[in-house]
Structure 1
Amino acid sequence: MLTASDLLQGVPGATSPLFARRLATHGDRIALLTGDGELSYRELAEKVAQTAARLGVRRRLVLLVGANTADALVTYLAALAAGHPVLLVPGDNDEAVRSLTAAYDPDVVARPDRSGRWQLDERRTVSAHQLHPDLALLLSTSGSTGSPKLVRLSYENLQANAESIATYLGIRKDDRAATTLPLHYCYGLSVINSHLLRGAGLLLTGLSVADDGFWNLFRAARATTFAAVPYTFDLLDRTGFAELRLPHLRYITQAGGRLAPDRVAHYAELGRRGGWDLYVMYGQTEATARMAYLPPRLAASHPEAIGVPIPGGSFRLEAHPDRPGQDTGELVYSGPNVMLGYAERASDLALGRTTHELHTGDIARRTSDGLYEIVGRSSRFVKILGLRIDPERVEALLHRHGLTAFCAGADDELVVAVAGGNDTDAGRVRRLVTGEFGLPPRAVAVHVLPELPRLATGKPDYETVRKLGRGPAPDEQPSDLCTLYAEILDRADVTEDSSFVSLGGDSLSYVEMSLNLERVLGQLPPDWHTTPIRDLRGPAPAQPAPPRGSRRRTLETGIALRAATIVLIVGSHIHVFYVKGGAHLLLAVAGFNLARFHLTPSAERRERVRHGLRSISRIVLPSLAWIALVLPLTDDYGLTNLVLLHSVLGPHDSDTAMHFWFIEALTYILVAAVALLGLRIVDRAERRFPFALPMTIAALGLLTRYDLLGLRDRIHLPSAAVVFWLFALGWAAAKADTTRQRALVTVAAVATIPGFFPGEPFRDAVIAAGFVLLVWVRSLPSLDRVNTVAGVLASSSLYIYLTHWQIYPLIEDFSGWLALLASLLFGIGYAAVASWVTRRVSGLRPTMRRPGQE
């Protein structure tokens, strides 16, 4: 068996990079930190030696399914140390694994099995391929992870690039880098190689920087650096990175695409204030990873530059017909990290060096300061109706107008995908592009998307953008779903990348949407409201369905509770039965829905506020309209009711004027919640502590629930001030991701609800039982017909509550049960009228957005 000592001395295939063979020289220094513990360099070297021994000394092609795990990293290092070429493929792309396995017929496949246990599938003991002695690594080119076209890298490439990166970054033994990028991506792999070279530590994690758990690990590991692509900085903005305390952070590196100059300057300034550096870098897979870097001291003053060549490398500018000029041309790179060449089939693995310098395809200029700046990309030029268009210039144009866009050419049209919402004017985008580049409007297809498509590495997914231009096939189910979403949500900007939440769906539209989808799809995934439409699929054809009313279905607990409680509220007011507590339970459900629909991590702060205000308007406007209508017809209400201020201004001795206490309380609470979440510091706190924040708010609510401040004897507290702890507990219930958290919020509810209504333990029990059901049982068995009735009642519950005060007194003397039925039906009718008026006022004809439509 090979030992760590063997690796230190070298094994057959001794040209393998030193960073893989000299692990043991770093002794007991920490090499890897994971969520499961630590691994020293000595221990890592032993594991690598054991795996290398299993692979043997006869060279074989090893297909490695990459992941940021110790098993994958050990296999990678073992194959390199023992001289086996590695074909790295993404672990989250089964199609790429199948495609590359078929194309290159690897001798060994290393990947986790279905149970997650790491395995080496040795398909043969002697390679079926002729492998060139210098061949060390095969990587997919950016954006083509399933393509058979691969970059062939040598042992010298890997070692030279690792040494160069370690030199200009000044990597030290006490540095610890977090693996924010995947192992199969050349940028992520270069972080690993360069840190292992210097004996530094690696924090191995697959968590995103948008995950609170990542930063907890980062701080606990005393990590000093992490790598970022442009999209990473969007995530950092959403997580409130500027306010994070990261005392050991030394520097951040950025590559993987151009970061806008204003963003470079912004983060360079953050680094200056925080005591860390920003390294802007430039590279391609064909150059192993890096070709240039911008010294941090120049980031603020030259944010548009890629900098200077890395140590050992050099640039020259080759004249390009589209960009004439002495200091401008295609950027050509030379250095020991330039690839051997490409492989497009298994027989190419026998080739030696076929590439001596790298034509990057980027148009660059050299400034008077000796810095290089990318000004365009020749390989992305497209010819549309005889005009040569640079999509990167289109993106830059739109960026100057405050728009983030990806552009690609497809079949004589320019496809422009713009990040935005319902207020983004696609016509304005088209006019900007046509006015600048001289294209006719019919040649520019604009698609407004809630989020722009990206690859797993965070880079723009231009292939998906290009496909937008062709549009979906007419028989594809997602197209039908787009139409359904457009009709129910009254939106004209629905695309297959939209989700219920991204389109501004709320608790009122959620009921109708979920029931319709459940009929179409057969079964709804738990997170359907945040799932893009393209990822929702219906069931396979089955046997003829039973009669519709008898079909077995499931009904979400939140919808069931809303339907049941409105019936209980109205019936109890009429006294046909007496089951009170429904209105207070609905407050908890409202908090649950706020968190579920508006507080998704991907939603930006302004988007959250905008959606929250829209939901408030859908409560307030129909309420004011109804109260204004009945105010002249009855003496029960006053002007304070009309402006929803009765809870504050009174009169507090009127039994009828308090009919709308629930509407007022819910409005006040939602306004307060949206106002709080509009604060940057609260928004950051919610993203970092999504469960702890509402639990803290609920704890503060106990001050008024138990009157611990003695305010009730001195002033009149509005109902909202007394009951908002229930709303906060519902919010926390939606954010409870673990059994422990669900148990904690349940205990909090069961402990604080009893006694809220003195002498009415049954009323307390109704609220507590409903809350427990909401937390622990997400759906109930049901029937198609039951779902239909429950859906109508739940979606009309607000309107039924508003109107039943005026309806049931007209009939209750004749029949209480008939009064109940009439109240429910009238409220349902008012809901239909309110919905119709809303759509008429909006002036929208809800349709699915198709290619070229505005």
Structure 2
Amino acid sequence: MNCIDYLLPKDINKDDLFVLGQREPLTFYDIRRKVASLAVELKSEFGSGNKFVLLSPNNNYFIICYLAIMKSGNAVIPLNPATEKESLDFVKGQAEVRLAFIPQLLQKRVQVSFENIWGEDELERISLENPDVYYEEEGDFDPNTLAQIIYTSGSTAMPKGVMISHKNIIANTSSIIEYLQLTDEDIMECVLPFFYCYGLSLLHTHLKVKGKIVLNNNFIFLGSVINDFKKYKCTGFAGVPSHFQILLRKSDSFKNEVLPDLRYVTQAGGKLHTVFIEEFRKAKPFTKFIVMYGQTEATARLSYLPVDRLDDKLGSIGKGIPGVELRVVNEKGDPVKAGEVGEIIAKGDNVMRGYYKDEESTSETIKKGWLYTGDLAKVDEDGFIYHAARKKEIIKVGGRRVSPKEIEEVIVSMPGVVDCTIEAVADDVLGEAIKAVLVKNESANGLSGDDVKEFCSTKLAAYKIPHIVEFTTKMQVNSAGKKVKGKM
């Protein structure tokens, strides 16, 4: 089955809205009509099995292009509009890109030349020239067909292309809808970019249930987000840790605002320290807080913590989502005992086909059908998983292994601390020493590095106390809102 046939609802009225928050609302009827005409044009001009780049912010143009490319049997490569020339050249060459979809306003800023570029005018022309094209489902379509390539950012090398099939998207979407209990009454405030798998999962799930999404590309202006919550009566919000830290600590406006329609929020994209979760629940006691964990290599989602276990399992990423099996294993591949640290591995229909044109990395990551995530974790007696750190983030201080997250958890519990990141720095004696980088708000202007060290000494073993403490006005984050360590 083609995943677009699965995602697009059939029982629709002509005026049923899907996208809010744009100058021109987008209906489900418009989506089916425009996707059908563009998909037919792509198949006619290019055939199937090609790779097409899509560089665009979240908007109606992105949605139509994204869906039509996959509907046509080609693979979409959604990229950050701010992708550097070197990375863009790499993707273009590796994927042998024949066509790029780029909005008119962005075309002059892109420093890489593509064989073909289609903007909004081209889509409008195709739609006008094909008024009689209607959406048709494909009965004979291999679900293992490549649907998209998501390039993951690499700090020391060129990005890796994660190959996601139509089956992967269908499996992950179905599972997320089930555990979040999404319906056609859900309205999602969407601040996550669609070139990020977490953002795409919002698009997929709300299409499937015939819900609505509110596009907001201006999270930096908190007032606009709060206005969306009230104006559109949003029932859901999805964010990474930095989103929640800003909502809760940058000002009191979000905490003090009454939002009766906000049924739930989801958090993924890294660990949000428990102090922020508790702070959110205190401010919004009637809004469900759902902790999730995932990877691009798993289409988006791997685990979630049920809301009714948040009190007794605070700090856990939960268990596998429906249809996904998770284990925490030692270096031999055997399950660890409760309390021991091991690597999270996963199996399910959402696990990627592999890395594009990179068999070596694929064989290192997928072993006997299991996805090795590179994330270290512990399991408790009830089978709940507690994320410890990325393998690559572990700091070795004088031969002792230190998890940055443990120290970050302590420091962000200090009054006035908005955010903290822990990094390793070279040390002649210890091999690696610990550096803490903090963001504080105005109420903590007098906070010093010595204050931080003294506070840590009451909570942590001596070898875990930061050797260096620095302050910054804001954390360096990537385009998906995740912190970039070592660049503070």
Q: Distance in 2 between matches of 1:391 and 1:107?
A: 43
Structure 2: how far apart are the matches of 1:116 and 1:203? 25
- CA distance, structure 2, for counterparts of residue 311 and residue 141 of structure 1: 25
User: Which deviates more, 333-342 or 104-113?
Assistant: 104-113
How is 1:224-263 mapped onto 2 (pairs within 5 angstroms)?
A: 224-237=235-248, 238=251, 240-263=253-276
The aligned amino acid for 1:26 is I
In structure 1, how many angstroms separate the alpha carbons of the residues matched to 2:257 and 2:368?
45
Partner secondary structure for residue 177 of structure 1: strand
Secondary structure of the 1:37 match is coil
Provide the residue aligned with 1:92 in structure 2: 82
Partner of 2:203: 192
Q: Which residue of 2 aligns with 1:104?
A: 95
User: How far apart, CA to CA, are the structure 1 residues paired with 2:463 and 2:223?
Assistant: 47
Preserved CA contact (<8 Å) 2:453 2:465: no
Which of 54, 57, 60 is residue 41 of structure 2 equivalent to?
54
Which of 12, 26, 32 matches 2:12? 26
Note closer, same or farther for the CA distance 1:320–1:430 as it changes in structure 2 (3 Å cut): farther
Distance 1:297 1:69 in 2: 35
- Describe how 1:685-700 pairs up with structure 2 within 5 A: none
Residue of structure 2 aligned with 1:304, choices 315, 323, 329: 315
- Structure 2: distance between partners of 1:83 and 1:47: 16
Q: Distance in 2 between matches of 1:212 and 1:326?
A: 45
Question: 1:178 and 1:19, CA in 2 relative to 1: closer, same or farther beyond 3 A?
Answer: farther
Q: Shift of residue 239 of structure 1?
A: 5.2
Provide Cα deviations, 1:479-529, integer angstroms capped at 9, x if missing partner: xxxxxxxxxxxxxxxxxxxxxxxxxxxxxxxxxxxxxxxxxxxxxxxxxxx
Specify which of 394, 402, 427 is matched with residue 407 of structure 2: 394
**Residue 395 of structure 2 is aligned to residue 409 of structure 1:** no
The answer (yes or no) to whether the contact 2:70–2:76 under 8 Å persists in 1 is yes
Secondary structure of the structure 1 residue equivalent to 2:461: helix
Superposed CA RMSD = 3.5
Partners of 2:359 and 2:115 lie apart in 1 by 16
Does the CA-based 8 Å contact 1:32-1:40 persist in structure 2? yes
The change in CA–CA distance for 1:150 and 1:144 in structure 2 (over 3 A counts) is: farther
| Equivalent position of 1:40 in the other structure | 27
Residue by residue over 1:782-830, the C-alpha shift from the partner in whole angstroms, topping out at 9 and shown as x without a partner, is xxxxxxxxxxxxxxxxxxxxxxxxxxxxxxxxxxxxxxxxxxxxxxxxx
1:450 paired with 2:442, answer no
Query: Structure 2 matches for 1:103-182, cutoff 5 A?
Result: 103-114=94-105, 123=115, 134-141=145-152, 147-182=158-193
Question: 2:367 matched to 1:367?
Answer: no
Specify the code of the residue in structure 2 equivalent to 1:423.
G
Number of equivalenced pairs: 436
- Partner of residue 128, structure 1: none
Q: Which amino acid aligns with 1:49?
A: A
Change (3 A) 1:187 1:355: farther
Say whether 1:464 aligns with 2:487: yes
CA 373–167 in structure 1, closer or farther in 2 if over 3 Å, else same = same
The 2-side partners of 1:30 and 1:79 are apart by 22
Structure 2: segments with no counterpart, 5+ residues: 118-142
Is residue 2:208 matched to residue 1:208?
no
The answer to whether the 8 A contact 1:24-1:42 is kept is no
Distance 1:41 1:224 in 2: 20
The 3 A distance-change label for structure 1 pair 79 and 355 is: farther
1:182-238 deviation line (CA, Å, top 9, x unaligned): 111111111111111111112123121743233333333232211011111122222
Partner of 1:438: 463
Aligned to 1:71: 61
Q: Distance in 2 between matches of 1:138 and 1:187?
A: 14
Between 216-225 and 161-170, the greater mean CA deviation after superposition = 216-225
Identity %: 26
Q: Matched residue of 1:305: which SS?
A: coil
Supply the distance in 1 between the matched residues of 2:406 and 2:258 (Cα, whole angstroms). Answer: 38
| Aligned-partner Cα distance in 1 for 2:230–2:89 | 38
The change in CA–CA distance for 1:369 and 1:440 in structure 2 (over 3 A counts) is closer
Is the partner of 2:421 in helix, strand or coil?
strand
Aligned to 1:544: none
- Give the conservation status (yes or no) of the 8 Å contact 2:66–2:76: yes
Q: CA deviation at 1:162?
A: 0.5
Distance 1:94 1:302 in 2: 41
Q: Deviations for 1:725-744, whole angstroms, at most 9, x for unmatched residues?
A: xxxxxxxxxxxxxxxxxxxx
Whole-Å Cα distance in 1 between the matches of residues 93 and 481 of structure 2? 27
Distance in 2 between residues matched to 1:320 and 1:136, nearest whole Å: 33
What is the alpha-carbon distance in structure 2 between the residues aligned to residue 308 and residue 16 of structure 1? Answer: 26
Larger radius of gyration: 1
What is the CA–CA distance in structure 2 between the aligned matches of 1:135 and 1:369, rounded to whole Å? 37
The SS at the match of 1:461 is: coil
Alignment of 1:339-378 (within 5 A): 339-343=352-356, 356-378=369-391
| Range that drifts further, 149-158 or 242-251 | 242-251
Change (3 A) 1:348 1:262: closer
Distance 2:84 2:200 in 1: 20
**Is the 2:144–2:167 Cα contact (8 Å) retained in structure 1?**
no
Shift of 1:326: 4.0
Aligned-partner SS, 1:72:
helix
Between the aligned partners of 2:463 and 2:20, the Cα distance in structure 1 is: 55
* Distance in 2 (alpha carbons) for counterparts of 1:223 and 1:19: 25
- Residue by residue over 1:126-150, the C-alpha shift from the partner in whole angstroms, topping out at 9 and shown as x without a partner, is xxxxxx9632221133665983212
Using CA pairs under 8 Å that are at least 6 residues apart, name the structure with larger relative contact order, 1 or 2: 2
- The Cα shift of 1:30 comes to 1.5
Whether the aligned pair in 1 keeps the contact of 2:275 and 2:412 (CA below 8 Å) is no
Q: Distance in 2 between matches of 1:146 and 1:24?
A: 44
Instruction: State the one-letter code of the partner of 1:222.
Output: K
CA contact (8 A) 2:38 2:68 kept: yes
How far apart are the structure 2 equivalents of 1:99 and 1:185?
19
Report the AA paired with residue 65 of structure 1: L
Shift of 1:165: 0.4
Asked if the contact 1:338–1:355 (Cα under 8 Å) also holds between the matched residues in 2, the reply is: no
Residues 531-590 of structure 1 deviation map (CA, whole Å, 9 limit, x = unaligned): xxxxxxxxxxxxxxxxxxxxxxxxxxxxxxxxxxxxxxxxxxxxxxxxxxxxxxxxxxxx
Whole-Å separation in 1 of the counterparts to 2:48 and 2:308: 49
Report the alpha carbon displacement of residue 103 of structure 1 after superposing the two structures with TM: 4.3
Q: Deviations over 1:443-491 (max 9, x none)?
A: x4432212222222221111414xxxxxxxxxxxxxxxxxxxxxxxxxx
Q: Residues 17 and 44 of structure 1: is their aligned pair in 2 closer, same or farther, counting only changes over 3 Å?
A: closer
**Superposed CA offset, 1:296-353 (max 9, x none):** 22223432121221111111121259x974453322221111111223669999xxx8
Confirm or deny that 1:266 pairs with 2:279.
Answer: yes
Residues 354 and 73 (structure 1), Cα distance of their counterparts in 2 relative to 1, 3 Å cut:
farther
Match of 2:306 among 271, 292, 295: 295
Aligned to 1:80: 70
**Aligned partners of 1:324, 1:23: CA distance in 2, in Å?**
43
Identify if the C-alpha distance between structure 1 residues 450 and 258 changes in structure 2 by more than 3 Å, giving closer, same or farther.
same
Give the CA deviation at 1:40: 1.6
Instruction: Quote how far apart the aligned CAs of 1:268 are.
Output: 2.9
Cα pair 1:16 1:82 within 8 Å, conserved:
no
**Residues of 2 paired with 1:354 and 1:111: CA distance?**
37
- Indicate the SS of the match to 2:48: coil
**Are residues 382 and 228 of structure 1, via their aligned partners in 2, closer, same or farther at CA, if it must alter by over 3 Å?**
same
Gapped runs of 5+ residues in structure 1?
Answer: 1-13, 126-131, 466-854
Separation of aligned partners in 1, 2:247 and 2:414? 23
